[in-house]
Amino acid sequence: MGPRLGPLVVTSVLVEADEAGAKLATSRPRGAIKKRIGDSKKLVAFEDSGLGEAWARAIAARAGVEARTPAELLRAIGLDEDDHLRAPCPTHHVDLCWNADGEGFVSDDAAVRRCAKDLAHLEARGVRVRRARVAVVCTRRLNDAVARGLSRFDVDLHTMERLALDAREHAGDDVYALCGKVGGFDFYGERFGPLAGRLHTVLCEGRARSEYQLPGVGRLAFVRDADESHLLVGLASLVGKWARDHLMRRVVRFHRVHDEALPHASGYHDPVTTRFILASERIRKERRVDAKCFERAALGKRSADVDATSSRSQQERPSPAPKRPRRPSPEKPTAEA
């Protein structure tokens, strides 16, 4: 499944860790920090994503970036340049997703200082957070992928691969990329995109964990419920949730300029989002908003068939991976920086 509206956002956090730090980064958050790092779905909501913003600001500051606005922050931690992000946008409604007028931070300086203190505490325990990167795949690009026969699973996985390769380039050494499970799948190798064609060794493939070794890249592990059970993935989840919700609020603001009675929709599969889609139909017709830029299509439906006024949930179901015999899992590898 995925939201009906808004972009797909995939986020990475790059750290250097010693042996003790690697164990901490791949463990469930404990103690006081548990209140500020974990599964973003449990710690923040669409109406209040200030915690993720505070983490993004604190991480960016440690990397030497003092962003003054959300737009500057997104630009500082974004994987792609603005020109690439806006390339598919129709010129007459580029402000649907990219109008930053009037935006401001919602997290206060005290919240940012708390996160900065947590980062210093993690570094003292062997986990040095170097940077965060946010990859944004807009609705138009998601629908174009559907038209090519790709599911959200494929796009999500391929974006994770891009982030892993970017981390490898920045680190200058092999990385251990811990990723949340994508689509509940067990077998990833045959669905690789940016990593397709590279030699890789299967270390294990199963319900709880699928892991691969790639020469010149490092290791990629896809772990079930990783954002709750792995501190580092939980941190990336919070930053990504803020970025996704912030970009969704731009879509809502684009429509509310013309009708302030429209609800503040999250874009997820809920009654408020359905009301927003129906009530904003007139505005999109008047502004000639391309339907491919508004609501996500499901695999199996041509993206041209997306009806922005439909009240029916467009659910995304990844096509099943080919089944094959399970391989026995080796001993759990030791985490490395």
Per-residue pLDDT of the chain (337 residues; tens, 9 = 90+): 479 999 999 999 999 999 999 999 999 988 888 888 876 666 666 566 789 999 999 999 999 999 999 999 999 999 999 999 999 999 999 999 999 999 999 999 999 999 999 999 999 999 999 999 999 999 999 999 999 999 989 999 999 999 999 999 999 999 999 999 987 789 999 999 999 999 999 999 999 999 999 999 999 999 999 988 999 999 999 999 999 999 999 999 999 999 999 999 999 999 999 999 999 999 999 999 999 999 999 876 443 333 332 222 333 334 444 444 444 444 333 333 3
261: exposed, middle or buried (C-beta count within 10 Å: 0-12, 13-18, 19+)?
exposed
pLDDT value at residue 173 = 96
CA pair distance 28, 226, nearest whole angstrom: 9
pTM of the model as a whole: 0.85
Report yes or no: 275 and 4 within 8 Å, Cβ to Cβ: no
Give residue limits of the domains in the chain.
Answer: 1-172+229-308
CA pair distance 316, 295, nearest whole angstrom: 12
pLDDT value at residue 46 = 56
Residue 104's closest CA among 79, 129, 68?
68
pLDDT value at residue 237 = 93
b/e string for 267-299 if b means 16 or more Cβ within 10 A? beeeeebbebbebbeebbeebebbbbbbbbbbb
Number of helices followed by number of strands (H, E) in the chain: 13, 6
pLDDT value at residue 331 = 38
pLDDT value at residue 316 = 37
Locate tokens 């986990």: which residue?
127
Report yes or no: 267 and 247 within 8 Å, Cβ to Cβ: no
pLDDT value at residue 59 = 97
130: exposed, middle or buried (C-beta count within 10 Å: 0-12, 13-18, 19+)?
middle
pLDDT value at residue 128 = 97
CA pair distance 292, 142, nearest whole angstrom: 9
The residue type at 40 = S
Residue 186's closest CA among 30, 48, 318, 66?
318
Question: Hey, is 52 helix, strand or coil?
Answer: helix
b/e string for 307-323 if b means 16 or more Cβ within 10 A? ebebeeebebebeeeee
CA pair distance 207, 221, nearest whole angstrom: 12
Question: Hey, is 13 helix, strand or coil?
Answer: strand
* 3-state DSSP percent of the chain in helix, strand and coil, to 5: 45, 15, 40
pLDDT value at residue 160 = 97
